Amino acid sequence: MTDVIILCGGKGTRLSEETATKPKPMVVIGGKPILWHIMKQYSYYGCHRFILALGYKGEYIKNYFQNYQVLSTDLTLEPDPEKHDNHDESHWEIMFVDTGQNTLKGGRIKRLEKYIKSDVIHLTYGDGLCSIDIKDLERFHLQHGKVGTVTGVHPPSRFGEMAVEGDTVIHFEEKPQLSTGVINGGFFVFDMRLFDYLSTDEDCDFEFGPLQKVAYAGELKVHKHDGFWQCMDTLREREYLEKLWNSGNPPWKMWD
């Protein structure tokens, strides 16, 4: 079973309407936290062991999964051996680790090293949804043998896009995927050599510094994803994801 690290410690200041009382991964889409949606996707593809890097209001996440139990220490939830649905929540093993209130992402990841059980790890942020095939991503990573794989996605437009003929709008798309260029989509796979590039220091970043060094060493491959991807940095983006969920066919929902 491949471990999944999810970064859950950020403050989400651009979503302050929501994050004044809860951490960003607990902002709700379709009645469930976006963190739950991310975990459901990984679980659908057979990844059931999650290590959550907690920080800002981390107790809120513990409360959600553990009903207010053991708020002051790290804890692990064990899967229920009587349940046989591979992607049901009862099959999940969840480790909650306090990685500090102000620690940058690289430091948070490094502080999780001692909890890793698998030779390969998935890593993602707690605020983005994607229609990527997780197993395909992992297969790509194992084939090239480098330290890491990052998913390259087409960035969504910040503004609506219109197709116009003369003075008539032919087509309107609220947030289209741009056809040129790729950005970091936040769905990574690494082997344990990643931790050689990190430190437990609070100011150890991830994208700026460690990940750049992995790339400069020729050890970072990109797996391009042309399908749906959307982060949730603003209230408008949360409302967009809510609208997609309410459509009855959200593009990231693989499970029944």
Q: Which helix (H) or strand (E) holds 16?
A: helix 16-19
Question: Is residue 252 domain-resident?
Answer: no
Question: Is residue 254 domain-resident?
Answer: no
pLDDT tens by residue, 154-173:
877 655 555 556 654 445 55
pLDDT tens by residue, 200-255:
999 999 998 999 999 989 899 999 999 999 999 889 899 999 999 999 999 999 99
What's 17's domain CATH number?
A: 3.90.550.10
CA torsion 151-182-24-92 (nearest 10°) is: -20
Question: Is residue 152 domain-resident?
Answer: yes
13 pLDDT band, cuts 50/70/90, is confident
Question: Is residue 255 domain-resident?
Answer: no
DSSP at 217: T
Q: What's the rounded Cα separation, in Å, for the pair 219 and 61?
A: 34
Structure tokens, 5: 């690290």
CA 245-89-42 angle, 5° bins: 65
pLDDT for residue 168:
46
Domain interval for residue 200: 3-246
Question: Is residue 253 domain-resident?
Answer: no
* Structural domain total, the chain: 1
The one-letter amino acid at 218:
G
Structure tokens, 245: 């969920």
For residue 35, what are the contacts with CB-CB under 8 A and spacing of at least 6? 6, 8, 25, 26, 52, 61, 126
Question: Is residue 183 domain-resident?
Answer: yes
Question: Is residue 27 domain-resident?
Answer: yes
Question: Is residue 49 domain-resident?
Answer: yes
